[in-house]
Amino acid sequence: IDSLRALGVEKDLALPAIAVIGDQSSGKSSVLEALSGVALPRGSGIVTRCPLALRLKKMTRAQGWKGNISYLDVNLKLQDPSEVEKEIRKGECSIFHSEKGIKRLIKKIIAKEETINLVVVPSNVDIATTEALKMAQEVDPEGERTLGILTKPDLVDKGTEESVVDIVRNLIIHLKKGYMIVKCRGQQDIQKNLSLASAIQNERAFFEENEHFRILLDEKRATVPLLAEKLTSELVEHINKSLPTLEEQINTQLQKATQELCKYGKSIPETQTEKLFFLIDKIRLFNQDLMYSTHGEEKLHDDEQVKLFTKIRQEFQKWGEILDKNSVKGKYRAANLRIVPLYYQWK
Ligand code: GDP
Ligand code: MG
C-alpha cells in the first residue's frame, strides 16, 4: 500500500487508511503522538486547527530518522523528531480552514469504505453525546469499520468507573471492532517534560494499579502498545479485504488508459532509425489519406459533420447545371460525355 501511495495511486483510488476523529481536546493528538513516538502540538482549546495526515514508514536502524512535512507550496525535510511539533504549528498557522470546510473534508474521508475510523472519546464524557461518534455512525451505521478509543481514564469521576468498563467491553454502544482504553500524557506530564517512553511505562503502571481498570489490561483492551498491535492487525486485515477490489479497479482503469493511449498511435521515436521509420510512416499515412480523398473516400472522426462524398456530389450537381446552361448544343458535348459517366460512377 505504501508503494502504491508513493506512486500517487491515491489520486485515482482510495487506499486503506486509518482516520482519527474526536471532539475538541478529546486526546486525538495525544493518541497519535503516543502511537508514532513523535511529539505533536496538543493542549487545551483548539490546538490542531486543521486535519493532519501522518504517514509512518519503518526505517532500518542504519537509515535513522527522516521526516518530511508538506503543506501549500512548502516542502521541508526534517532531521529530528523534535522539529515536528514546531513545524506543524507553523503550518497550521498559515492554513486557514473554515469549520464547515473541515467537517466536509472529515466526512469525505471517513465515508470511504477503505478507511478505518478511530473515534476518540474522553472517559469522563458521556460517549453517547459526542459529535465524533455521531459522525462515524452516520457513515458506518453497523460499526463495521469503527473502533472506539477512550482516553483520560485517570480523570474519570470516582464511582463511574464501572460504566467506563462496560463501554470498553462493548456492552453499551456496540461496535464490531470494539473499544480500547489508553492513558496519554496529561498537561502536567508535558510541563514536567515527561518523555513519551516514560509515559508508556506510567500508563502500564496506572492500569496495573487501578482496581477497576486492571481487568481491561488482562483482556487486552488497554494501553497504547496494545492499541498499536490491534491497529496493525486491523489494518492488515482491512488491506487484505480491500486488495481484490483495488486490483479490479486498477485493471479497469488500466484498460481505459490503454484504450485512450492507443488512440494516439505509437510512442515518440528515440533512435535515428526509429525516427526515420516514424517519418516514413507518417508520410505514407498522409499519402494514403490524400489517395482516399481523391477517390472521394475518407476516414471520418466522429465529430466531423460534412462528408466529402456528399459535398462533392453537390458540387458536381451545380457544375452539371452550369454546363447544361452554358453549353451551346454540341460545343461542350464532348466534355459532357466524358464527365457525366464519371459523375454517375461517383454518385
Ligand atoms: P485533541 O484536541 O483531540 O488533539 O486533544 P489533545 O491531544 O491536544 O489533548 C487535550 C488535552 O488532554 C491535553 O492537555 C492532553 O495533555 C490531555 N490529555 C490527553 N490524554 C490524556 C490522558 O489520558 N490523561 C490526562 N490526564 N490528560 C490527557
Ligand atoms: Mg489535536
Among the ranges given (36-45, 239-248, 316-325, 335-344), the one the predictor scored with the smallest mean pLDDT: 335-344
Q: What is the 3-class SS of the chain, one letter each residue?
A: CHHHHHCCHHHCCCCCEEEEEECCCCCHHHHHHHHHCCCCCCCCCCCCCCCCCCCCCCCCCCCCCCEEEEECCEEEEECCCHHHHHHHHHHHHHCCCCHHHHHHHHHHHHHCCCEEEEEEEECCCCHHHCHHHHHHHHHCCCCCCEEEEEECHHHCCCCCHHHHHHHHCCCCCCCCCCEEECCCCCHHHHHCCCCHHHHHHHHHHHHHHCCCCHHHHHCCCECHHHHHHHHHHHHHHHHHHHHHHHHHHHHHHHHHHHHHHHHCCCCCCCCHHHHHHHHHHHHHHHHHHHHHHHCCCCCCCCCCCCCHHHHHHHHHHHHHHHHHHHCCCCCCHHHHHHHHHHHHHHC
Which has more pLDDT, 6 or 153? 153
Atom from ligand 1 closest to the CA of residue 30 = 7
Specify if 22 maps to a domain.
yes
pLDDT at residue 92, rounded to an integer: 79
pLDDT at residue 238, rounded to an integer: 87
Closest CA to 180 of 218, 214, 111, 230: 230
> Residue 279 has which C-alpha cell?
517519418
Q: Is the pLDDT of residue 11 over 60?
A: yes
Q: Is the pLDDT of residue 111 over 90?
A: yes
Among the ranges given (38-52, 190-204, 262-276), the one the predictor scored with the smallest mean pLDDT: 38-52
pLDDT at residue 22, rounded to an integer: 92
Residues 119 and 246 in one domain: yes
Specify if 233 maps to a domain.
yes
pLDDT at residue 332, rounded to an integer: 54
- pLDDT averaged over every residue in the chain: 86
Give the residue, out of 36, 131, 185, with the most ligand 1 atoms within 8 A of its beta carbon, to mutate for a pocket test: 185
CA distances from 66 to 9, 54, 82, 198, 317 (A): 23, 13, 11, 23, 79
CA distances from 285 to 88, 262, 290, 291, 308 (A): 58, 16, 9, 10, 18
pLDDT at residue 225, rounded to an integer: 96
pLDDT at residue 338, rounded to an integer: 56
Atom from ligand 1 closest to the CA of residue 24 = 2
Dist. CA 303–CA 120, nearest whole Å = 56
Specify if 76 maps to a domain.
no
How many CB atoms neighbour CB 115 within 10 A?
A: 21
Angle at 140 between CA 139 and CA 144, to 5 degrees: 160
Pair 227, 180: CB distance under 8 Å: yes
> Residue 99 has which C-alpha cell?
469549520
Residues 14 and 144 in one domain: yes
Q: Is the pLDDT of residue 312 over 80?
A: no
Pair 113, 14: CB distance under 8 Å: yes
Q: Which numbered ligand comes closest to the C-alpha of 33?
A: 1
Q: What is the residue with the minimal CA distance to atom 14 of ligand 1?
A: 43
C-alpha 26 – ligand 1 centre gap (Å) = 6
By residue count, the chain amounts to 347
Q: Is the pLDDT of residue 45 over 80?
A: no
pLDDT at residue 213, rounded to an integer: 97
Specify if 157 maps to a domain.
yes
CB of 48 within 6 A of ligand 1: the answer is yes
Q: Is the pLDDT of residue 257 over 80?
A: yes
Average pLDDT over residues 262-279: 86
Domain CATH number, residue 208? 3.40.50.300
pLDDT in tens, 294-303: 776 666 665 5
Residues 213 and 312 in one domain: no
Residues 15 and 124 in one domain: yes
pLDDT in tens, 68-85: 999 888 999 999 988 998
| Structural domain containing residue 119 | 2-28+114-251
Residues 133 and 22 in one domain: yes
pLDDT at residue 299, rounded to an integer: 64
Residues 232 and 334 in one domain: no
Q: Which numbered ligand comes closest to the C-alpha of 45?
A: 1
pLDDT in tens, 152-199: 999 999 999 999 999 999 999 999 999 999 999 999 998 999 999 999
Atom from ligand 1 closest to the CA of residue 153 = 23
Residues 21 and 165 in one domain: yes
C-alpha 285 – ligand 1 centre gap (Å) = 71
Average pLDDT over residues 333-342: 56
CA distances from 239 to 1, 102, 114, 245, 267 (A): 8, 27, 8, 10, 36
Query: Any residues with CB less than 8 A from the CB of 175 and at least 6 apart, and which?
Result: 143, 146, 147, 148
Among the ranges given (21-35, 45-59, 110-124, 256-270), the one the predictor scored with the smallest mean pLDDT: 45-59
Dist. CA 120–CA 106, nearest whole Å = 14
Domain end residue (candidates: 226, 251, 276):
251
pLDDT at residue 198, rounded to an integer: 94
- Predicted confidence band of residue 268 (pLDDT cuts 50, 70, 90): confident
CB of 151 within 6 A of ligand 1: the answer is yes
pLDDT at residue 6, rounded to an integer: 81
pLDDT at residue 302, rounded to an integer: 54
Residues 191 and 315 in one domain: no
Q: What is the residue with the minimal CA distance to atom 2 of ligand 1?
A: 25
- Predicted confidence band of residue 293 (pLDDT cuts 50, 70, 90): confident
Specify if 37 maps to a domain.
no
pLDDT at residue 324, rounded to an integer: 81
Q: Is the pLDDT of residue 304 over 70?
A: no
C-alpha 24 – ligand 1 centre gap (Å) = 10
Residues 17 and 156 in one domain: yes
Average pLDDT over residues 312-329: 79
C-alpha 163 – ligand 1 centre gap (Å) = 21
- Percent of the chain residues past pLDDT 70, beyond the cut: 87
Torsion angle defined by CA atoms of residues 237, 239, 240 and 243, in that order, rounded to the nearest 10 degrees: 160
Report the number of distinct structural domains present in the chain.
2
pLDDT at residue 314, rounded to an integer: 82
CB of 200 within 6 A of ligand 1: the answer is no
Average pLDDT over residues 262-278: 86
